[in-house]
Structure 1
C-alpha cells in the first residue's frame, strides 16, 4: 500500500529526532534515554506527530515497538531531513575540544584496552580521550554533531549506519563472525562450534547496542534456524556475565573477547551472523596523514587482541583476506 504523507508546519526537528530514535532503538524506554526525555513525553510527542500525518506510526511488538508501513515512510523522510539539517548546521555547532586532544569513540571491543596506547604511538603529541559505547548509532550521531573526532564502529551485516558529511569512513575488518557465550557447565560447552538451532530452548540476553540492528539480526537468524528466541534479559555487556556463568542465559558476543571465567565462547556453525569494523572520522578535524595514522593505530590495537580467544584466533589466521590493510 502506498501512502501520501503531508507534513504540517507544526512538526519540529525534535519530533523528527524522536521518530528516528524510536525506529533505531525499537523501544520507548531506550529512545527516551537517548533523547533525555521521559517516556510519557515521548508518547505524547508521538501522538502529536500521528495526529499530523493522520495515521499510526508504530505498533507494540514482543521486543518493543516497530514502525507500521506508514511509519517506515515517515522515518525514511525524517532521516533525510535530519541528515540535511546536521550537514547544514553541524560545522556551526562544532565543538573542537581542547587543542591537541583527539576525541575518539569505540564500540565495546576487547581492543579498547590497547587503543589509547596504540593511538599515542600513531599520533605522538596528541592526547587521546576515549568514549566506549555499545551503540554504533550513538557514536555515528556524536561524530556527525562534532562531539567526537573519530570512532571505531561495528556494523552488523544488513544494518548499515548512516554517516553524514563531513564524516568519512574506511573499512578496517570487512567481515568477521559473531560468536555465542554460554556457561562452562552447559552441555554444549565442549563443542568446537554450536548450531544455532541447538539453542532454541535457551533464554537469551539481548545484544548490547540493540538500536544498531543486533537484536533484529538475532531474531532473524533464529527464525531462519526454525525458532523464535526467548529474549528475557536486557543488560549491558559486563552486567550480563553472571547470568551466563550461572546458565541463566546465552548471548551473542564479539569473537575477540577472551572467555570470562566460568564461560566459554564458541563460533556458530555456518556463521549466521557477521559484522564488519569501520574507522570513521571528521575531515574537518583530521588531515589525510592523521587519518592514515588513526587507521594504523586502530589496526594495531585490534590485532593485539585477536589471539585472546583461541577459537577466534584459529578463524582469524585462516582468513587473511579480512586483515586490515596497513
Structure 2
C-alpha cells in the first residue's frame, strides 16, 4: 500500500493541531483509527514522524522532511479542487456540524427541506472550538456553535458568522429525587456540596467558566466525573452528581433540568459557514434552516420553554 492524499492530510493536521485527539476530531476519525493510520505511515516512510512533548506532538527530523513535501502536495491538490471543483452547494454534499444541542435531530430534515437536491452529512461535536477549526480548514461547510460569555472563539476571515440566539443560558441537571429538584430555579451556591460532571468542550472555556461561576458563588466545584455529553445521565439520575446542560434537551428519566438563579453561565449560539461554500442567498436560506431546527425543540424542556417566553428580548434573531 502506498501513501495517498488522505495520509498526507492526516500527518499535516496532527502537526497543526499538536495532538492526535484534536486531529482525529477534525478529520472525523476515532483516535485509535488515526493512531493506527499514523503507525502505518511511519512503517512506509521508515521511522517515527512525531514525538510527544510538554507542548504536544512535535515532528521528528524525518517528520519535518515528510511534512515539508506533504504540504507542497496538499497545496497543489487544494488548488486543483479550487480551480476545477464543483462549488455548487445546492446540488452537492453539505457537511454540517453542531454542538450537542437538541436541534441536532432536526438539522438534517430542515436543511434537506431547504436544499432538496443536497446530500447532508452531520457531525455532532461537544467542542465549538473544534467545529470552528473544522469549518476554517474545510472539513465542514457550516456549523452551529455555542460561545460562552467571556470565552470568545477566533473566527478567521474565510468564515462567516451570524448570531442565532444572543443569550442562551446554561441549565443544571440533577436527580429527580434531589432536595432541590422541585424548585423552579436553583442557586449555584446550593450545589456547593455536589460532585460535578466535567462540562463538555473544556477547551471552549466551559470548565474554566464553571470554576469561575462557582468561585463567585463561594465554593470550588468538585469535578469527579468525565463523560461524553449524554453518557453522564445515569450518574445524575442516581444522585451521584450534577452537571451543566444545554436547556433545550428534554430531561432524561429520573432527572430534572433547572435554570440557575442569576444565569451565571450564558452562551451565544451562532451559525458559521465557509464563505466560498455558499452564495449570499444560499447562506440566508441555510441560516433559516438552522433557526427552524432550533425552534423545533424550544418546547422540549418545560423549564426552557418558560424561560423562552419570559425573555423575548434576548433571543430575537432566531425568529426573524
Normalised by the length of structure 2, the TM-score is: 0.75
Distance across 2 between alignment mates of 1:119 and 1:315: 27
Match of 2:164 in 1: 172
- In the alignment, which residue of structure 1 is the partner of 2:219? 227
Query: Alignment partner for residue 195 of structure 2, among 173, 182, 203?
Result: 203
**Corresponding residue number in structure 2 for 1:153:** 145
Equivalence map 1:93-108=2 (5 Å): 100-108=92-100
What CA distance in whole angstroms lies between the structure 1 residues aligned with 2:217 and 2:190? 9
- Helix, strand or coil: the match of 1:110? coil
Partner-residue secondary structure (3-state), 2:140: coil
Q: Which runs of 5+ in 1 are unaligned?
A: 1-11, 23-31, 50-84
Cα displacement (A) at 1:92? 4.0
Structure 2 distance, partners of 1:272, 1:304, is 26
- d(CA) in 2 for partners of 1:260, 1:110: 12
Q: Taking structure 1 as the reference length, what is the TM-score of the superposition?
A: 0.74
Per-residue CA distance 1:246-291 (angstroms, 9 max, x = gap):
0010000001111001000000000000001100001111111110
1:283 paired to 2:275: yes
1:231-242 alignment, distance < 5 Å: 231-242=223-234
* Offset at residue 102 of structure 1 (A): 0.7
Secondary structure in structure 1 of the residue aligned to 2:147: strand
Structure 1 position 184, deviation (Å): 0.3
Give unpaired runs (5+ residues) of structure 2.
Answer: 1-11, 23-30, 40-49, 59-70
Query: Residues 14 and 100 from structure 1, CA distance in 2 versus in 1: closer, same or farther, beyond 3 angstroms?
Result: closer
Residue 278 (structure 2) pairs with residue 269 (structure 1): no
- The answer as to whether partners of 1:18 and 1:42 remain within 8 angstroms in 2 is no
Residues 220-256 of structure 1 deviation map (CA, whole Å, 9 limit, x = unaligned): 0000000000000000011100000000100000011
Say if 1:134 and 1:48 are closer, same or farther in 2 by CA, change over 3 A. closer
Which of the numbers 231, 234, 252 marks the counterpart of 2:244?
Answer: 252
| 1:46 CA displacement | 3.0
Q: How far apart, CA to CA, are the structure 2 residues paired with 1:106 and 1:42? A: 32
Contact 1:177 1:274 in 2 (8 A): yes
CA displacement at 1:172 relative to structure 2: 0.5
- Equivalent position SS for 1:217: helix
Residues 14 and 57, structure 2, Cα contact 8 Å, conserved in 1: no
Figure out how many residues of one structure are paired with residues of the other and give that number: 267
Decide whether the 8 Å contact of 1:94 with 1:147 is kept in 2. no
Give distance in 2, aligned partners of 1:225 and 1:94: 53
CA–CA distance in structure 1, aligned partners of residues 208 and 200 of structure 2: 12
Alpha-carbon offset, residue 208 of structure 1: 1.0
RMSD: 3.1
1:131 correspondence with 2:123: yes
Choose from 53, 65, 76 the match for 1:44.
Answer: 53
1:110 corresponds to which residue?
Answer: 102
Residues in 1 aligned to 2:169 and 2:298: alpha-carbon distance in whole angstroms: 13
Aligned to 1:189, which of 181, 189, 202? 181
CA-to-partner distance for each residue in 1:7-45, whole Å, 9 max, x for gaps? xxxxx99666329x99xxxxxxxxx99x9589xx66426
SS at match of 1:238: coil
Following superposition, the deviation at residue 174 of structure 1 comes to: 0.5
- Contact conserved, 2:102 with 2:249, CA < 8 A, in 1? yes
Give the match's secondary structure for 2:231.
Answer: helix
Shift of 1:124: 2.2
**Is the contact between residue 15 and residue 45 of structure 1 (CA under 8 Å) also seen in structure 2?**
no
Shift in Å, 1:123: 1.7
State whether residues 51 and 57 of structure 2, in contact with CA within 8 Å, keep that contact through their aligned partners in structure 1: no
